[in-house]
Structure 1
Amino acid sequence: MTAVPPPVEPAPIVVPARPRPINGLGAATGALLVACALLFALFLIDDWSNYRLLSDHVSGRITDDAFWEQYSSGFGSLMLTLLMLPLIIASSVTWLVWVHRARTNAGILSPQYRFRYSPGFSVGGMVVPFANYWWFRPILEDICIGSSPHRPADDTVRLVRTCWGISIGATLVSIFTQPLFSFHVLTYTPDGRLVDGGADAVHGFFGVALYNTLLAVVFTPTVALLVMIIRRVSRQQTELLSPAQPA
């Protein structure tokens, strides 16, 4: 009697991962980052305007009524904050999606390269407080190298390292200089007349405006370099992936 071998199930067909274009996503990420920077510039204008106005008020150059008529810190700052929060959320989410897709594409374009982190960890590493300052550099370096399988990525990697170094320095500057700037409270009568705290408040407003200006000076290069990196990697991947897209 001849034994009949059991039927063999066909092996599952493994469909290779398909690269996904990131040019539009990269453009959106860069535009949102620039929008955040421009809105922060409006915060600076508002800060310095309020400082000048309070200084004129305390020194007696303008009346109490004129001060309250022109003062914008309450409503103006609130409106700017309401605009800034959605922009920060949108830019952060778009940035993380870009990182995941760019890292996934890089793995497809350069399968021989030994990436240090997976696409999922690359996203997670960007959102872990404090540790993300360390993971930021190797994650973006791997994406840059994996996106240039046929040519050196030295220039883009240098941009990443410069961006990383400036971001570390800028964060340290902001942390160590913040205690130098104090905040003061004005005291007014029920009818809006200044009672006390005028000189201290002027110094406080000046400190807020100066501190935010310092933040803008140290963080602007980081944003500019990050936008350059995003555009360069997006362009390289688009050039490499376009022939692979279905007609």
Structure 2
Amino acid sequence: MSTPMPASGSGAPEPEPGSDRLSKAVVPEPKPVPELDPVPAPGLTPTPGLTATPGLTPTPASPYRPLVSPVGLGRAVVILLALVAVADVLVIGATYNIRRLMASLLDQPFAEVTDRDAELADSLFLMATVAQILLYVASVVVFIVWFHRVRSNGGVFAPDRFTRGPGWAIGGWFIPFAALWIPCGVAIQTWRASRTDPYAADDHEPRTLLHLWWAAFVASWLASRYADRVWDKAESPEQIVSAATAVMAATAVDILAAVLAILFVRRLTRMQHTKALALAGAGAPVPAATAPGPAGPVPAV
């Protein structure tokens, strides 16, 4: 390997080997830093099985969780459903008034309906339907909150009796078509878990009321869809009379569904309240809910 030559014309002599002062500098090797074992903060000694919160004394993690009473929500649902039934009665009355006016035109071809009668009939129908819709929306919201509450409590009573998590008590209502059976399955499993003996046969505290309510609910939903479609297309007096009859029939089924829903809410709320009081009186802690698993057989819904 050739030795590098100095730049031409510089005249600087090449430094002698070993004359560079940097080459004589001794760089000490870094000393390894000893690893230190972690030291807990003063006054806080970690203990297995304890949870600590800054500023608070560590407390043991409890394997149990308290039940949440559904009584207050149940009462609110009952009141709102009763108001929905009252609004349904008003809708039937307002619809009958429109039907009466249109039927008079059919029975008496030369009869006249005054503008005042027509405007009054339309105003009564509008006010009744607006009240019905507002109360129905409010009852749906509170009912779903109550439904999720009782489902969560059921998961505390007997977690192995469920095939779906508590979230289905809310989300199951918003899935098209599947909403016609998923909430019913959640209600059935919640009913089973809320019985005095969750593992007894189905004839123990039978769920006849639950099935009646659900059948009326589905019938009301289907009848309302049909009545709304017929009403929107009605133009002639004959069509209005026919549509009004469909609306009154669907609203009557809705009243039946509301009454059965009231009975169902009261019954299931009372079942859970009675069971919680019995457990509290016996001094038996209720285990925290766990994910559904193969802890026990779950009857098909």
Contact 2:102/2:238 (8 A) holds in 1: no
**Structure 2 residues not aligned, in runs of 5+:** 1-35, 52-59, 282-301
Contact 2:71/2:273 (8 A) holds in 1: yes
Measured at CA, do residues 169 and 93 of structure 1 come closer, stay the same or move farther in structure 2, by a change above 3 Å?
Answer: closer
Aligned-partner SS, 1:119: coil
CA distance in 1: counterparts of 2:270 and 2:277, whole angstroms: 10
Contact 2:84/2:135 (8 A) holds in 1: yes
The number of equivalent residue pairs is 225
- Residue 9 (structure 1) aligns with: 46
- Residue 5 (structure 2) aligns with: none
Cα offset, 1:156, TM superposition:
4.4
- Residue 130 (structure 1) aligns with: 177
Measured at CA, do residues 79 and 166 of structure 1 come closer, stay the same or move farther in structure 2, by a change above 3 Å?
Answer: closer
Contact 1:47/1:205 (8 A) holds in 2: no
- Residue 272 (structure 2) aligns with: 237
**What amino acid maps onto 2:210 in structure 1?**
V
- Residue 15 (structure 2) aligns with: none
Aligned-partner SS, 2:163: coil
**What amino acid maps onto 1:9 in structure 2?**
P
User: How does 1:127-206 map onto structure 2 within 5 Å?
Assistant: 127-150=174-197, 152=200, 154=203, 155-172=205-222, 183-185=233-235, 200=236, 202-206=237-241
Measured at CA, do residues 87 and 47 of structure 1 come closer, stay the same or move farther in structure 2, by a change above 3 Å?
Answer: same
- Residue 43 (structure 1) aligns with: 91
TM-score w.r.t. length of structure 1: 0.76
Aligned-partner SS, 2:244: helix
**Structure 1 residues not aligned, in runs of 5+:** 186-199
- Residue 104 (structure 2) aligns with: 56
Give per-residue Cα distances to partners, 1:157-209, cap 9 Å, x unaligned.
Answer: 23223333344445455556776778444xxxxxxxxxxxxxx3x21221222
From the two aligned structures, give the one with the greater helix fraction: 1
CA distance in 1: counterparts of 2:189 and 2:97, whole angstroms: 44
Cα offset, 1:225, TM superposition:
2.4
Question: Could you tell which deviates more after superposition, 4-13 or 162-171?
Answer: 4-13
- Residue 244 (structure 2) aligns with: 209
Aligned-partner SS, 2:274: helix
Measured at CA, do residues 51 and 25 of structure 1 come closer, stay the same or move farther in structure 2, by a change above 3 Å?
Answer: same
- Residue 29 (structure 1) aligns with: 77
CA distance in 2: counterparts of 1:169 and 1:63, whole angstroms: 37
CA distance in 1: counterparts of 2:153 and 2:183, whole angstroms: 18
CA distance in 2: counterparts of 1:88 and 1:175, whole angstroms: 15
Aligned-partner SS, 1:21: coil
TM-score w.r.t. length of structure 2: 0.64
CA distance in 2: counterparts of 1:166 and 1:209, whole angstroms: 21
Match of 2:124 among 61, 76, 90: 76
**What amino acid maps onto 1:116 in structure 2?**
T
Contact 2:94/2:128 (8 A) holds in 1: no
Q: Percent identity?
A: 23
CA distance in 2: counterparts of 1:141 and 1:167, whole angstroms: 15
Measured at CA, do residues 94 and 234 of structure 1 come closer, stay the same or move farther in structure 2, by a change above 3 Å?
Answer: same
CA distance in 2: counterparts of 1:75 and 1:172, whole angstroms: 27
1:100 aligns with 2:135: no
C-alpha RMSD over aligned residues:
3.0
